[in-house]
Structure 1
Amino acid sequence: MVKLIDEFRRGWQGTSPPSIATSIAFAAACLLLATLVRWGLAQVRPDIFFTPYFPAVFFAAAFGGLRIGVFTALVGGMLGIAVNFGETHLDRARFVLLVLYWAVSALTIWGVEHYRSLLIEQRRISKRLIEEEHYRKLVVDELQHRLKNKLSTVHAVLHQVLHDQPQVWARIDPRLRSLASTDDLIAKVDNSGCDIRDLLISELGPYGHVRFTLNGDRLFLPAKLAVTMSLMFHELATNASKYGAFSSPRGLLQVSWTVSDGRLIITWDETEGPIIDKVSPPGFGTKLLKSALLAFDGKTEISYLRTGVHCIMQCRLPKV
């Protein structure tokens, strides 16, 4: 019984054709139900001969296909001729109605078959796309694994080479770790990018969630822009931990962002940090902040206020 129900379900959904026996049994059930409906209608209109068999033809063709649909149409026509309910007599008009019934049934069966062929083709294409997507995911996962291993190898090699230069290594190590963290974050959303809020929380979270506030709507950053912004956020957060808001017990940071006319504007505003009396010459981090957004038709403006660093980053937001 369970096997029969499963075969009926797969046949009705079009995933696999039902057996001939099951199709004929279903068509016979449709014809029986149509005949019972015809008997009920005959209590009001005895001259209804073929109309109740149209749904039977439709459902039988949809379930069993072309041959079962033709079989149901032929048997339905014979029942309409041979079986009488009430005081009706066989005349020429009934044969004319039979021809019309078969003509409409033929159109119905053709329409159902056309729809079935489209459905089968759509299922075939969907299956192929699912297989290709599965294969693509396997390839992407393998590439991500290899890139992660290469980044770890580069990290280990540089650490070994710069073992005797701790100051240089201290500048390189956190940036490599920031890149690795951003790659992991981007990989979680299928390598297409990440949300700016998630990126900021990933960079600022280690300093304590009570030390910063984020103001802005959810905004998805494409992968290339996300990597660039992660490096910039890392530089700003590192400077804040050494010289800015995060180096002071009462220091706070507020990051806001808006989108206007396709351009992203981010404001980095530090308060309650140490008073800045003297600004050192631009180093690598400052040069990175100044030039990182040039590829996105953007720029960075940094102001060293007495209350803390005030930085405005703006760039063209690439279309996803």
Structure 2
Amino acid sequence: MGKLIEEFRKGWQGVATPPLGLSLAFALACLLLSTLARWGLAQVRPDVYFTPYFPAVFFAAAFGGFRVGIVTALVGGVLGFVLNFGDAFADRARFVLLTLYWGVCALTIWGVEHYRTMLAEQRRISRRLIEEEEYRKLLVDELQHRLKNKLSTVHAVMHQVLHDQPEVWARIDPRLRSLAATDDLISRIDKGGCDIRDLLISELGPYGHVRFTLNGERLFLPPKLAVTLSLMFHELATNAGKYGAFSSPRGLLQVSWTVNDDRLTITWDETEGPTVGEISTPGFGTKLLKSALSAFDGKSEISYLKTGLHCIMQCRIPKSE
């Protein structure tokens, strides 16, 4: 009984084609109900012969297909012509009504079958898209796994090559780790980008959560922009740890961001850090900060105030990648 109910549910919802026996049984039930309705109408209007059978044809065709609909229309026509629930008798008018009934039934069955065909095609496309999405996720996961292995290999090779140059390695190692951490963060949300707050916390968390405050609405960044900003945040955080707010026991950092249309503005503001002395020749980090956002129609402005480093980053948020 449970299997029969499940087959009826799938057929009614259009998920699967019901068995022929079940379709015919449903059509028979519709005909019986229509005949009962016709008997009730005959108490008021005895010359109603075929109209009650239209719903039976519609539902039978929708449930079992056009063949079951045709059988239902034929049987309904015969019942309407043969059965009498009053003093009326078969005449030429009933033949004309029967012809009209079958004509309307043909149009009804055609319309229902057209709708069923469209629905089946939409379901087929939906299943194919779901399968393609699952396959894409599988490929993306495999690609991310391979990229992670490649990054680990690059990290190991460079460490081996630069083992006798600790100063150079000390500059490269944290940047590679920052890239790996950002890639992991992006991969966890299926390449949909990552939240700017999560990105900042991953970079600033090691310095202590009480040392910084984040102000801004929830904002998801596309992957390419997220990777670029992660490098910039890493440079700024490293600078703050060596020379800025994080190098002082009382130093604090406030990062805020706003979005106007598709323009993102990020403000990095350090306070209570050491007094900024003479500015040295711009190194790799400074050059990175000034040029990294050019690919996103953006720029960075760095100011060395008495209270600490102040940086404003502006760029366009890509619509898609």
In the alignment, which residue of structure 2 is the partner of 1:27?
27
In the alignment, which residue of structure 2 is the partner of 1:202?
202
How much has 1:153 moved relative to structure 2? 0.7
In the alignment, which residue of structure 2 is the partner of 1:136?
136
> Residues of 2 paired with 1:207 and 1:106: CA distance?
76
In the alignment, which residue of structure 1 is the partner of 2:123?
123
How much has 1:27 moved relative to structure 2? 0.5
How much has 1:35 moved relative to structure 2? 1.3
> Residues of 2 paired with 1:248 and 1:42: CA distance?
96
How much has 1:208 moved relative to structure 2? 2.5
How much has 1:6 moved relative to structure 2? 2.1
Q: Which amino acid in the other structure matches residue 111 of structure 2?
A: G
| Structure 2: stretches of 5+ with no match in the other structure | none
How much has 1:117 moved relative to structure 2? 1.0
How much has 1:211 moved relative to structure 2? 2.1
Q: Are residues 1:302 and 2:302 paired?
A: yes
Structure 1, residues 237-295: CA drift from partner, whole Å, max 9, x if none? Answer: 11112221222232221111122353221111111222223323222111111111122
SS at match of 1:52: helix
Q: Are residues 1:88 and 2:104 paired?
A: no
Structure 1, residues 284-307: CA drift from partner, whole Å, max 9, x if none? Answer: 111111111122222111011111
> What are the residue-to-residue correspondences of 1:1-320 with 2, within 5 Å?
1-320=1-320
The alignment's TM-score, normalised by the length of structure 1, stands at: 0.94
> Residues of 1 paired with 2:93 and 2:249: CA distance?
99
> Residues of 2 paired with 1:258 and 1:217: CA distance?
7
| Structure 1: stretches of 5+ with no match in the other structure | none
How much has 1:189 moved relative to structure 2? 2.4
Q: Which amino acid in the other structure matches residue 17 of structure 2?
A: P
> Residues of 1 paired with 2:54 and 2:207: CA distance?
73
Percent of aligned positions that are identical:
80
Q: Which moved more, 1:281-290 or 1:206-215?
A: 206-215
Q: Which amino acid in the other structure matches residue 289 of structure 2?
A: L
Q: Which amino acid in the other structure matches residue 68 of structure 2?
A: I
Q: Which amino acid in the other structure matches residue 28 of structure 2?
A: A
> Residues of 2 paired with 1:96 and 1:26: CA distance?
28
Structure 1, residues 133-162: CA drift from partner, whole Å, max 9, x if none? Answer: 222211111111111001001111111222
> Residues of 1 paired with 2:74 and 2:188: CA distance?
59
Tell me the matched-pair count: 320
C-alpha RMSD of matched pairs (Å): 1.6
SS at match of 1:278: coil
> Residues of 1 paired with 2:46 and 2:152: CA distance?
85
